[in-house]
Structure 1
Amino acid sequence: MERSKSDSSRLSLTNADTTKEIEENFSSMITQTVENGVNGSSNIFEHTFVPRDWYGGFLRSVVPQKETIRTHLLTSSSSAYFNYDETNQDGRYSFKVLDRKTNQLIFEQMPSYHKLGMKLLFSGSVQRELLQKRSIKKFFEHETKRLGKAFDEPKSRKHIQAFVKMYRLDVDELLEPDLTKYSCFNEFFYRKLKPNVRPIDSVNDPTIVVSSADCRLIVFNTIDDATRIWIKGQRFSLKHLFNNEEMAETFKGGSLAVFRLAPVDYHRFHSPVTGIWGKEEKLSGTYYTVNPVAIKENIDVLTKNQRVVATIETDNELFGSVGFVAVGALLVGSINFTVEKEQLIRKGDEVGYFAYGGSTIVVVFKDSVIKWDDDLLHNSNNSMETLVRIGERIGIKTTNEEKQLLQQKQQPQKDVSPHTTIKRLFEMFPTVAQ
């Protein structure tokens, strides 16, 4: 989605002095968190309140299904997703998410450090030049590693109680509900849950696909749909996502699911299908934020960030090979896997976890082998994420008839205009046209 002139005019150009000031404020926020705890207004857990606009309040408990609502969603996306006008408090630094469990349209607020990170990335052409010089990339990497190291230290436990209170986490869900038992903040951050807290849908039915994470989910039938509606990175493609031409060819025309984890979420991720865990390949990269504002911009977030690419091999009569990519992000300390190559994993089994920060999982299926659940596909086509939990059903294997229908829809439409026959005659007999 190209930015309109009216959208661009709201983004002030940021000179070198302002960029330095933003970097200093970001670093100060990390230092405040590491050294002084969570009581100050500049720590990374602090959020800025974003009031609901009239549209958000009106649709708070409505499932968007009508075309009129679809129009509102699309026309409101530019101001709600991307707006740094300091005089406008409504919808600033927030994005709409539909909670599948409650059918409520909610606003997710962006943490303060994300706001500063977004300003560094997107506030005008100066920032785009700096990105090419890698100065901001190095800055993000340094601060991410600094915080990750601090959160592995015993004294970081002081953040746990405040984090639970701020995000209203249900401690009864935790495998270890005694918060004093965690050795550091990161150990709490990638906490485990009690068995059966996240039941796995149709656990014995291998045709049912489930969510890999507690997350904000968006799904697409094809990569073309994903890039047309959601992912706006200039060089996004399967080739760049996997960094592997052969793998990209295997999944050509395939379906895509993006599972975005916010800091509040349980940060262990699980397998969406039953199969054999394949070889992992770690790809180095930067630490951009992966929130919707960044995804819907021309920065190649998903293909530039550090990530690990793997596959899950299922029966060919089911899904065949399934691509699984764990993507790191701003202030994500590390990507860790808890499975081994050629290990059998069942649907819903844990496969890994992220240390502190919001993160993303991208799962890619082969061409036309999966049918996404209608509500998820509808919300995604309306450029809106859906809040889902681990183990919830998100799709099912297509039947042969459904697969043929999907492939027919994806094929280029033939020219059936009344002038087609005449046009072809002219091509066959060029002298007739003279």
Structure 2
Amino acid sequence: MEPIIYIDRKTGKRETEEVYGGEMLRFVYGKSMIGSLLRTLSAKVPFFSWLYGVCQKMPWSRKKILPFIKKFNIDVDDFLDRAESYRSFNAFFTRQLKQSCRPISDAPVVMPADARYYFYQDIAAANGFIIKGKKFSLANLIGDSSLAERYAGGSMVMARLCPTDYHRFHFPCDCIPGKPLRINGYLYSVNPFAVKQNIEIFTENKRFVTELKTESLGRVLYIEVGATNVGSVIQTYLPDATYEKGAEKGYFSFGASALILLFEKGRIAIDSDLLEATEAGYEMRCLMGQPLAAADL
């Protein structure tokens, strides 16, 4: 399989992603029958994700932390706590960062997480997008065809969090969030290796949909998508309370995961450098709090 190339927004350079468990992903999402069987079992049998999650919470799992940090060159200066203080690998994985390390932009809409992103000013560019004969459907993603109509012609942001990323997610704008709607599903990987095999992963995986009420941006849909080994999406916010952009919404337990933001038509104008990267076929790695879009008034 081809290497994963993305653009780092901070430097503007193209980088090659070092994939955690890359060889296994290539095998599982390859063409072998054994790989196909493992893919089905890991995604569709909850016991495997549960067992893997339990292992990451065991005290002995903390032995993996320092080698993991070294291998993937993770900046420990960003951590709120010392790397040696985490009692399990999952505790490290769900770590908090120093606020000073993720300053919040003055832009009306900011990045909700550290992730690799695709950006669509018009959802039509992605809705109905075909990979290997399979379409991405906005209605299937939301689970409500009438609600999907509200976002027709609107904007979409897709964020892929890999295991090496900071895994807490935040509000992209000032808002009053409602209660999250849970849509049960599987736990397929959202790595590009997997998505190229099946774009319907986003509409088949376990996910949570939250409506954000805003003063000037209309109603925004915030969707968390569980992926490989992510059986737990933890919401830390209080529904119907008022939050400022950059405030924490929740976090994913160990694994890969994704976020999707939907905006009504004519509400935002996504930054040009972000759109250009997507149009060129590249994900762009952005950090939580960086500017995403201006209000399209």
| Alpha carbons of structure 1 residues 160 and 120: separation in structure 2 relative to 1, 3 Å | closer
Q: What is residue 100 of structure 2 aligned with on the other side?
A: 196
* Separation of aligned partners in 2, 1:272 and 1:260: 15
SS at match of 2:68: helix
Whole-angstrom distance in 1 between the partners of 2:102 and 2:238: 23
Instruction: Please state how far the C-alpha of 1:226 moved relative to its aligned partner.
Output: 1.7
Aligned counterpart, 2:68: 163
The answer to whether the 8 Å contact 1:232/1:297 transfers is yes
**SS at the partner of 1:159?**
helix
CA contact (8 A) 1:230 1:296 kept: no
CA RMSD of aligned residues (A): 2.5
Aligned-partner SS, 1:345? coil
Shift of 1:220: 0.5
Deviation at 1:143, TM superposition (A): 2.9
Residue ranges of structure 1 left out of the alignment (5+ in a row):
1-82, 84-91, 400-434
Partner of 1:372: 270
Pick closer, same or farther for the CA change 1:290–1:361 going to 2, 3 Å. same
Q: Aligned with 1:347: secondary structure?
A: coil
Structure 1 length-normalised TM: 0.64
Percent sequence identity is 34
The Cα offsets for residues 365-416 of structure 1, whole Å up to 9 and x where unpaired, read as 01121111111001101111111101000111112xxxxxxxxxxxxxxxxx
* SS of structure 1 residue aligned to 2:190: coil
- 8 Å Cα contact 1:221-1:368 kept in structure 2: no
**Corresponding position of 2:224:** 326
> Aligned residue for 1:302?
202
Q: Does 1:138 align with 2:44?
A: yes
In the TM superposition, residue 186 of structure 1 has moved relative to its aligned partner by 0.6
Checking the alignment, whether the CA contact within 8 Å between 1:230 and 1:383 is kept in structure 2 is: no
Following superposition, the deviation at residue 129 of structure 1 comes to 9.1
Aligned position for 2:285: 387
Q: Which residue does 1:116 correspond to in 2?
A: 24
Structure 2: gaps spanning 5 or more residues: none
Higher relative contact order structure (alpha carbons within 8 Å, sequence separation ≥ 6): 2
CA distance in 1, matches of 2:159, 2:133: 17
Q: Which amino acid aligns with 1:265?
A: D
CA drift of 1:183 comes to 2.2
Matched, 1:224 2:130: no
**Is residue 2:89 matched to residue 1:180?**
no
Q: 1:258 aligns with which of 158, 167, 190?
A: 158
As a proportion of its length, which structure holds more strand?
Answer: 2
Q: Which structure features the higher share of helix residues?
A: 1
Q: Partner of 2:168 in structure 1?
A: 268
Distance 1:246 1:240 in 2: 11
Counterpart check, 1:99 vs 2:8: yes
Structure 1 or 2, whichever has the larger Rg, is 1
Number of corresponding residues? 297
Does 1:343 find its partner at 2:249? Answer: no
Write the deviation string for residues 98-147 of structure 1: whole angstroms up to 9, x where unpaired.
Answer: 111111111113333x54345434527x699979x9656435x4432221
**Equivalent residues of 1:230, 1:295 under 8 A apart:** no
Distance in 1, matches of 2:240 and 2:264, equals 20
Given that 2:136 and 2:199 are in contact with CA atoms closer than 8 Å, whether structure 1 keeps it comes out as no
- What TM-score results when the alignment is normalised by the length of structure 2? 0.91
